[in-house]
Every structure is written in structure tokens, then in C-alpha cells.
Structure 1
């Protein structure tokens, strides 16, 4: 199963095409043909982010194809800062799939939530889908989130992703690559975030571990 980038030293040394990861294989690498597919539901778009007169950031509107769905099993913490981290993280995840659906490696929606190293890695990931002329489809589940807020403007988030019901869809053939779920369908993510001048929690660093025992059922 494919999915978001795995920005370890080994992965960063590979080509963009190898960022697409097949669920049916025993490792993290696959060819372009091992994933991706796309239902023709029109071209999703997003509005450009801006700041309102009140100083509250206008987050980009994220409209995804109807065949994509997300379940976030990370309930409210009761802490305003931690809940804001979780809320912005949800949007950052969806923003990447919007860029893939739009076949746009410089889509403004994901760049609203990713900066620096994380933005560069995410751009590589999106470019791999553009090269393969494919996008994501199916459903994703997120769970076991642990948030740590340090001071007013720094935070970290660790969470799991279940890709067992998510697939790649090829835009030209409309073929959905329904690979069988394996241990690699479960991914552990660790992000380093900071709150920018607009009050948005943006991702500066992103690490992942595919097949993590912490995330497997």
C-alpha cells in the first residue's frame, strides 16, 4: 500500500518513483505500477489561504474526491493547544491528498501546513504520483495520537495510520490497485511542528516507520 512519504535517510536517497509503497510486498519499495488509481470525479481544487481582518487565518478549503474518506480516532484532549495541533494535522493530511488529486506538487493547500524539510519531502512524494499519473482512493484511519506541546509555539505529534483499505488509482485507465493488506499497511508517524505567525500549527519535520508493531492490530 502506498502512502505519505517515509523521510528516512534511505528513502531520501531513492528516486521519487520509489516513494510509492505497495501493500502487497514485504518492503517499502514498489514500482509506479504497484499503486495508484483515480475515479473521475472532476478536478478537486482549493482556495488560496489568506488572513482575515480579525487576524484569524483562513485555512485553505480542501475538497477531495468523493471516493476518499478519513477516520480520525483521536478524541479531544480538553487542552486547547493540543486540540489545535490535532485539528491542523487532520487538514495537513488531507491537503497532501488534494495535491495528489490535483496532480500539483506545489499546491497551496499543503504548503499552508508544511514548511522546510517536511515541505520538500512532501513535494517529492506528490511528484511521484504525478509522474505515475495516479492518485489515492479508499479510506484511511488514524489512531493512537500522542501530542506534546512545548511552550507556546512548539509541539510534536506521534500517530498511527491504517492504509489497509486505501489504494492507488491510475488516472488514465481508472484502474484501482487493490493490493492485499500486510503489516506494511500500518504506519507510525512522528512530526515536529511549530505555531506560525498566523497561529497555524505547521509541520517542519516528518518521520515514518512502515510496519511498526505499535500500529499493527
Structure 2
């Protein structure tokens, strides 16, 4: 894997145990690490997808992403108006996590607070702060793809499953700028499931979530 893991907390919601983790992956003993001043290929990265803010209206969030980190989304659209709105807000939520890790803030960012709510959102913010206290920030490219939307009418919520590719994402020392580069492994490929609910503002917020490391389906895709 290419990123260092944060502590994983087990949370129970609706009789299901959900793993809470920040965007960082986890190194394994088989990963080979080295240090450099910048991630390989960062200067010539061309696979950057347009920011989600470019596809929405004036109330869309803006993100303060450093120039050395890229967030790509593939397939996060739908002909169904509701699903389209859910998927767009899911991209905002995912980007808010990357933004928080890339900035190394010791406080919850406005975008993270906006798209992750409740106790689960607070737990995620705490983990983001714990990551920042290690002196590391995220760099490189993170890709999200293969989204699937499932409506839970009884609960009034929507589940959004998608894959995450961190094979080109790395930890960087916030002070020195040194990047720890590791070789990709199965743990570079993860899956997320967001449980999203529509807020009074009309936005879809993440009220619960789970993350699974080392997903072969995501690696194959």
C-alpha cells in the first residue's frame, strides 16, 4: 500500500459494525518504501478529472487542494435526477477527506463538517486530526470509480458504494516535503460505502460509512 494507516475504530450502527478510517491506506511488510522530494510522475500528471465544483451551481463547495494532489472521479453521474445529485455530493464528501489530509489541518475543515455529519462525522474528523499530528500530509493521485447507488426507502437514506485506488498516492512530510514512495499492493485498492441522507439544505450528507482495505474487485477494475 502507498499510504500509512490511521487507527481504525469499530462503530456499530443499525446493527452493522462499520470500520471508520481516514483516506490513508496501510503499509504492509511487502511494500518497498523510498523517499523522494515529490511523487513519481507528479509533474506530468494529465489524468486529472475536472473538479466537482465545475459541474454544479453557486452553492457548490470550493476545495483548497494543493497542486501536488489530484482527485479523479469516473462514473459518478446518472440519468436519474436523484441519483445524479447523490453521486455529485458523494464526490464532494470524498474530496473533503482528501482535502483535509492534504492540508494537514489540526481542526475540522468546513467541507468535512458540511458533508460528514453526526457522531460518525465527528469520529472521522478526529482521525483526520490524528493523521495531521503525525506530521504527514497526502500527496499524489487518488482515483474513485465504479459507484453503485442503492435506495433504502424504509430508512429514507441512500447507500453509495465505490472503489478507491491509492496506488499513486503517498505520505509526505509536511515540514521537509519528503515523499515516502511505496510500491502498489492489493491494499492500494479499497472500497467505500457511504450512507447518505438528504439534509434540509437539499444536500446529501454522509451519516454513516464503511471502508474495506484490499478489495480484489476494485483492483481488477
TM-score (norm 2): 0.74
Partner of 1:187: 190
Secondary structure at 1:174's aligned position in 2? coil
Q: What is the DSSP-based 3-state SS (H/G/I as helix, E as strand, rest coil) of the residue aligned with 2:123? A: helix
Question: In 2, distance between residues paired with 1:130 and 1:21?
Answer: 15
Give the CA deviation at 1:143. 1.2
Aligned pairs for 1:94-173 (under 5 A) are: 94-100=95-101, 101-151=103-153, 153-173=156-176
1:160, CA displacement in angstroms? 0.5
The Cα shift of 1:75 comes to 4.5
Contact 1:164/1:186 (8 A) holds in 2: yes
Aligned with 2:182: secondary structure?
coil
1:45 aligned partner:
none
Partner Cα separation in structure 1 for residue 158 and residue 167 of structure 2? 29
| Mean Cα deviation higher: 191-200 or 65-74 | 65-74
Say which structure is richer in strand: 2
| CA gap 1:7/1:195 in 2 versus in 1, 3 angstroms | farther
The answer to whether the aligner puts 1:196 opposite 2:205 as a matched pair is: no
Task: Tell me if structure 2 keeps the 8 A contact 1:82–1:149.
Answer: no
Q: Give the whole-Å Cα distance in 2 for the aligned partners of 1:60 and 1:34.
A: 35
Give 1:210's match in structure 2, choosing from 204, 210, 213. Answer: 213
CA distance in structure 1 between the partners assigned to 2:98 and 2:38 by the alignment = 12
Gaps in structure 1 of 5+ consecutive residues: 28-32, 40-55
Instruction: Give how far 1:26 is off.
Output: 6.2
Matches within 5 A, 1:3-22: 7-8=9-10, 21-22=25-26
Question: In terms of mean alpha carbon deviation, does 184-193 or 92-101 score higher?
Answer: 92-101
Residue 89 in structure 1 maps to residue 90 in structure 2:
yes
Quote the offset at 1:3 in angstroms: 7.3
Instruction: Say how many residue pairs are matched.
Output: 193
Structure 2 CA distance for partners of 1:131 and 1:19, relative to 1, 3 Å: farther
Name the residue aligned to 1:53: none
> TM-score, normalised on structure 1?
0.75
CA distance in 2, matches of 1:215, 1:25: 21
1: CA distance, partners of 2:193 / 2:9: 11
1:216 Cα deviation (Å)?
1.6
After superposition, the Cα gap between the structure-2 partners of 1:108 and 1:190, relative to the gap in structure 1 and judged at 3 Å, is same
